[in-house]
Amino acid sequence: MSAFDPKKLRATVLRMAYAGSSVHIACAFSIIEILAVLYRAHLYLGDNPATAPDRDYLVLSKGHGVMAQYACLHELGLVSDDDVNHYFGNGTRLKGLSDAHVPGLEVSSGSLGHGLSVGVGLAMAAQRQRTRQRCFALIGDGEMNEGAIWEALLFAAHFQLANLMVIVDANAFQAMGSTREVMDLGSIAAKLTAFGFLTHEVDGHDERALDRAFTDLLRAPSRRPRGLIANTVKGKGVSFMEADNRWHYSRLDAQTYAAALAELAA
Amino acid sequence: MDRWNDMRNAFANALIRAARDDERIVLLTGDHGYSLFDEFRRACPAQYLNAGVAEQNMVGVAAGLAKGGLRPVVYGLSSFVPIRVLEQIKLDVCYEELPVIFIGDGAGVVYSTLGSSHQSTEDVAVLRALPHMSILSPADAAEMTACMKLALSATGPVYLRMGKADLGHVHQAVPEIQWGELCRPRSGDGPLAWIATGSMVKPSLEAAHRWPESSVWSAPSLKPLHVDAIAEICRQHQAIVVLEEHSIHGGLGSAIAEIAAECAPTWICRIGVADRFSRYCGSYQYLLTEHGLNTEAIIHRVTAFLARTSRSTLAAA
């Protein structure tokens, strides 16, 4: 089994979600392959994934998917079995949204539209200090309702932050419905391109395609910031959760937990 | 050159000196500060960054720059920084205790002709409630120089409130200012004390002539505020008048009253902007008068306050 195996990561998410009776399972499942490929092959983490001063930054701006990142940090040893098994227990440190006080998480998000700007600042700090660091900022398509996202995109293109990659988890849902119903975004790729980004679009669950897209974008000789639209399925990996927005909010019970785990083990 | 320019020049000069010494300092502005930064741009062009009319992103970027090892100074009008970007300041900067300096220019009713969008009388109140945030409010160019020194040496977030200070110099020389401490531009051994901040220090000094034995304190550091020092002033005086060009809710007057109530109860008169917006426009002096913050109105308020406290010796003094 390769490192950051998506099935194993999803199983870790399920263990946490069941232990903590957590919502946001589907939000985490749509970004599993994106994070897996980044951690496995593209993020440079130096001698310590949380503190190495020369590390690449992975900014989870869509903080609602944080269980997916906890699962990756579990693989890296920054999140323990105890953390997983006692998720949301009294006095525990892992919260239900990305929190910069947790080693391995770069920003506090969950109030949407914050992380991308902080990521833009991190990319700019690296550029000004002429380090080789890159910043990968993962935002949600629902999050793109926030005006601050568009401010950050304008800024990143204007200042030619070529070491910034904005990855859009385009799962086509937000909290209360499909993005088309709630606030139709039209073509995200066309918008990013129009904003001055070097933009690719990819199947966000195809690891090979993701790997190739990251490589191509990172290698491209361009001064433009990079944009990757990852078309994903909310709840991906468990049949009864896929594209069913109830799993933005639903909690696992013993039956659904067992059924979901069984699917992943199959 | 008017004295407001004195204070703004003191700010700009302190920033240029610091930026020349430390290339990590980056000035961000949300497309504001016309002419204020001409010299800074000439002296340190690579450290000047116009983030456009996009304050939310500007503050998030400042947080990222600070996390990445730089020392951002975010300049804006106090009605936009901090009010419009309060959540970014809370979550992106304060939660991580990042060394970001926020300059809120034109605080109070300085933009007297532009109406409520450009006036801010709530900035101190909202920031006092944010953990890790320090707040400075200089009264003149000399205090500004001292405050910039404090702000630039801070390890966490600082808000520097820059109100209008063309009402006259308070200090003859740059005072030694420490976090939380007051300075005393007028000493007296009477039972009445004045504690003022920013633009209201000078009117306090003028009004204090009516009570020749009263002492006047300036509070350039609004947070932290040394509880023991304030409590001692409360103990030594029968009545305290607090003045600020800010809402009477949540600013210096509230802070002093909180300390007095807990540590050393005494009579406190909070003079500032009442729970209302400016109704009309006009000159800065006109707006101060509308809000009862001109010297005459202050004397009238304090006279009535002292009468109400039933301390006839004070009222007659």
| Closest-approach residue (CA) in chain A for B64 | A121
* Confidence at residue B165, expressed as pLDDT on a 0 to 100 scale: 59
The sign of the dihedral angle between the CA atoms of B171, B174, B178, B180 is: positive
Long-range CB pairs of B95-98, under 8 A, 24+ apart, other chains included: B95/A100, B95/A101, B95/A108, B95/B131, B95/B132, B96/A100, B96/A101, B96/A108, B96/B63, B96/B67, B97/B132, B97/B155, B97/B156, B97/B157, B98/B63, B98/B66, B98/B67, B98/B156, B98/B157
Q: What is the residue whose two structure tokens read 């309702």?
A: A145
CB-based contact (8 Å) between B63 and chain A?
yes
The count of domains in chain A is 1
Contacts with B276 (C-beta within 8 Å, 6 or more apart), sequence order: none
**Min Cα separation B73/chain A (Å):** 13
CB contact (8 A) between residue A154 and residue B59:
no
Contacts with A89 (C-beta within 8 Å, 6 or more apart), sequence order: A19, A20
Say which of A101, A118, A155 has its CB closest to residue B63.
A118
Closest CA to A42 of A152, A139, A175, A135: A135
Is residue A89, in this structure, part of any structural domain at all? yes
| Closest-approach residue (CA) in chain A for B67 | A122
For A259, the domain range is 6-265
User: Per-residue pLDDT averaged across B204-227, rounded?
Assistant: 97
Q: Determine the Cα angle at A11 with ends A8 and A12, to 5°.
A: 90
User: Taking the CB of residue B110, how many other CB atoms lie within 10 A of it?
Assistant: 23
Residues of B with Cβ-Cβ distance to A144 under 8 angstroms: none
Q: C-alpha distances in angstroms, B19 versus B12, B70, B166? A: 10, 11, 26
Give rounded-to-5 percent helix, strand, coil for chain A. 45, 10, 40
User: Per-residue pLDDT averaged across B122-131, rounded?
Assistant: 98
* Confidence at residue B169, expressed as pLDDT on a 0 to 100 scale: 86
Is residue A92, in this structure, part of any structural domain at all? yes
Instruction: Give the residue with greater pLDDT, B302 vs B1.
Output: B302
Cα–chain center distance at A230: 10
Residues of A with Cβ-Cβ distance to B59 under 8 angstroms: 117
Is residue A1, in this structure, part of any structural domain at all? no
Q: Is the pLDDT of residue B317 over 50?
A: no
Say which of B52, B62, B64 has its CB closest to residue A119.
B64
| Closest-approach residue (CA) in chain B for A147 | B56
Q: Tens of pLDDT along chain A (266 residues)?
A: 479 999 999 999 999 999 999 999 999 999 999 999 999 999 999 999 999 999 999 999 999 999 999 999 999 999 999 999 999 999 999 999 999 999 999 999 989 999 999 999 999 999 999 999 999 999 999 999 999 999 999 999 999 999 999 999 999 999 999 999 999 999 999 999 999 999 999 999 999 999 999 999 999 999 999 999 999 999 999 999 999 999 999 999 999 999 999 999 98
pTM over 0.90: yes
Rounded to whole angstroms, the Cα distance separating B12 from B18 reads 10
If 0-12 CB within 10 Å is exposed, 13-18 middle and 19+ buried, where does residue B125 land?
middle
Rounded to whole angstroms, the Cα distance separating A232 from A171 reads 5
CB contact (8 A) between residue A148 and residue B67:
no
User: Per-residue pLDDT averaged across B180-205, rounded?
Assistant: 96
User: Per-residue pLDDT averaged across B213-217, rounded?
Assistant: 97
How many residues are present in chain B?
317
**Min Cα separation A151/chain B (Å):** 6
Is residue A97, in this structure, part of any structural domain at all? yes
Best A58, A99, A117 member to test B by mutation, with max B CBs in 10 Å, is A117
The β-bridge relationship of strands A173-174 and A177-178 is antiparallel
**Min Cα separation A259/chain B (Å):** 38
| Closest-approach residue (CA) in chain A for B53 | A151
Contacts with B4 (C-beta within 8 Å, 6 or more apart), sequence order: B164, B165, B166
Lowest mean pLDDT among A152-166, B135-149, B301-315: B301-315
CB contact (8 A) between residue B95 and residue A100:
yes
Is residue A241, in this structure, part of any structural domain at all? yes
pLDDT band at B166 (very low <50, low <70, confident <90, very high): low
CB-based contact (8 Å) between A126 and chain B?
yes
pLDDT band at B1 (very low <50, low <70, confident <90, very high): very low
CATH of residue A37's domain is 3.40.50.970
Best A109, A114, A118, A159 member to test B by mutation, with max B CBs in 10 Å, is A118
Cβ contact B104:B74 at 8 Å: no
CB contact (8 A) between residue A151 and residue B63:
no
Return the SS3 of A217.
helix
CB-based contact (8 Å) between B64 and chain A?
yes
Cβ contact A210:A33 at 8 Å: yes
If 0-12 CB within 10 Å is exposed, 13-18 middle and 19+ buried, where does residue A90 land?
exposed
Cβ contact A123:A160 at 8 Å: no
**Min Cα separation B80/chain A (Å):** 14
The overall average pLDDT reported for chain B is: 94
Residues of B with Cβ-Cβ distance to A158 under 8 angstroms: 52
Task: Catalogue all structural domains in chain B, each as residue range(s) with its CATH number.
Answer: 3-163 (3.40.50.970), 183-316 (3.40.50.920)
Say which of B57, B66, B87 has its CB closest to residue A155.
B57
CB-based contact (8 Å) between B109 and chain A?
no
Return the SS3 of A26.
helix
| Closest-approach residue (CA) in chain A for B86 | A114
CB contact (8 A) between residue B67 and residue A129:
no
* Confidence at residue A96, expressed as pLDDT on a 0 to 100 scale: 97
User: Per-residue pLDDT averaged across B169-173, rounded?
Assistant: 90
Q: What is the pLDDT of residues B228-279, one digit of tens each?
A: 999 999 999 999 999 999 999 999 999 999 999 999 999 999 999 999 999 9
Q: Is the pLDDT of residue B142 over 70?
A: yes
* Confidence at residue A177, expressed as pLDDT on a 0 to 100 scale: 96
